[in-house]
């Protein structure tokens, strides 16, 4: 059975997720740990639960979601996966990381370019990547059909959506992608976002001021 553990890291209050099942194999999604204490929290949880991380996935490669990539790759000798259109986004991080106060940022590189529809496997679990661009050009969300859960990154939040004023962002693209991709999922699917609390597809269809039924765009 899939289990999801969330951690909130760095000054952007970014949600890092560890997904694991009964085999103890684990998937690390968007490791935002930067400070030594944050890295220790992640490491200690993995050790305590006797997990075996097998890969890292970035839903997208903005700075707050990739700060711990290098640490996780080095510590567990595991590959980094993300969508091809995120590669230049990741490469750009080192050019501005110091401006955001992350002078000790360590670069990382992709090992596998993940495509929409390419099943992500770990243990007995399979996730379906869905391409939801607009916040970032290669943004993927990861859907687990059996448990009706979705790791959504910075696409859809409780009562909001991802910002679209960063390089590669586009407001209309994000709105359309949410409506055409995410809102085709069942209403009781739980959304685990990149920031803030969980929500559901059904709640956001009704109440989200940007993409809900009463939204004015």
* Cα distance between residue 60 and residue 152, in whole Å: 10
213 SS3 class: coil
pLDDT of residue 217: 63
CB atoms within 10 A of CB 20: 25
pLDDT of 141 > 90? The answer is yes
pLDDT of 12 > 70? The answer is yes
pTM for the full predicted model: 0.97
* Cα distance between residue 141 and residue 125, in whole Å: 16
The full DSSP string for 49-116 is: TT-EEEEEE-SS--HHHHTTHHHHHHHHT--EEE-GGGHHHHHHHHHHTGGGT-TT------SEE--T
Assign 216 a pLDDT band (cuts: 50, 70, 90). Answer: confident
161 SS3 class: strand
* Cα distance between residue 134 and residue 217, in whole Å: 15
- CATH, range 3-207: 3.60.15.10
pLDDT per residue over 174-183, tens digit each? 999 999 999 9
Nearest by Cα to 32 from 60, 3, 1 = 60
- List the chain domain ranges: 3-207
Distances from the Cα of 149 to the Cα of 80, 191, 211, angstroms: 22, 6, 20
Give me the mean pLDDT over the 31-40 stretch: 98
Percent over 70 (pLDDT), the chain: 100
pLDDT per residue over 184-197, tens digit each? 999 999 999 999 99
pLDDT per residue over 88-108, tens digit each? 999 999 999 999 999 999 999
């Amino acid at each position: 059975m899939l289990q999801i553990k969330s951690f909130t890291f760095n000054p952007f209050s970014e949600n890092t997720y560890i997904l694991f099942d009964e085999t103890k194999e684990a998937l690390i999604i968007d490791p935002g740990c930067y400070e030594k204490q944050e890295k220790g929290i992640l490491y200690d949880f993995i050790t305590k639960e006797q997990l075996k991380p097998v890969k890292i996935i970035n839903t997208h490669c903005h700075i707050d979601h990739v700060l711990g990539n290098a640490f996780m790759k080095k510590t567990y000798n595991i590959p980094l996966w993300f969508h091809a259109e995120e590669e230049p986004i990741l490469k750009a991080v080192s050019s501005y990381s110091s401006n955001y106060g992350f002078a000790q940022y360590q670069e990382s590189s992709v090992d596998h370019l993940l495509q929409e529809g390419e099943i992500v496997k770990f243990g007995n679990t399979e996730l379906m990547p869905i391409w939801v661009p607009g916040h970032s050009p290669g943004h993927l969300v990861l859907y687990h059909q059996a448990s009706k859960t979705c790791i959504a990154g910075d696409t859809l939040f409780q009562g909001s959506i991802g910002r679209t004023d960063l390089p590669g962002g586009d407001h209309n693209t994000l709105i359309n992608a949410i409506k055409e991709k995410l809102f085709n999922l069942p209403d009781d699917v739980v959304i685990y976002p990149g920031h803030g609390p969980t929500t559901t597809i059904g709640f956001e269809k009704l109440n989200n001021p940007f993409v809900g039924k009463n939204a004015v765009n």
